[in-house]
Amino acid sequence: MALNTLDVRPIDPNLKTGPTRVMSGPVRMRSVTLDTAYGEFATWLYVGVTGDVSIVEWDGTTIVLTGLAAGVWHPIYSLMVNSSGTTATNIAWAS
């Protein structure tokens, strides 16, 4: 089965975008183990308690997302959540 793709132009020239799957809601969910790769590419992060989340992006870049709201599935593409720089808790990932 072929996946539909979109070529998304970046709003910010520093963002890394390209062909991606059409956005859908979380399908496969797992709990996050800090400093451990998911084993696949996550497209969603859930934060149970508000705080900062340090993630590793698809290209190995580490960024800290500050003040993510609790109780929300955030459309964030990542490979791993780092313990250093992460203050949020009860984090889950989905693809």
pLDDT in tens, 6-42: 555 555 455 554 445 455 667 778 899 999 998 888 8
CA angle 81, 85, 86 (to 5 degrees): 55
pTM of the complete model beyond 0.75: no
Q: How many residues does the chain have?
A: 95
Share of the chain above pLDDT 70, in %: 74
DSSP state of 42: B
Q: First and final CA of the chain: distance in angstroms?
A: 17
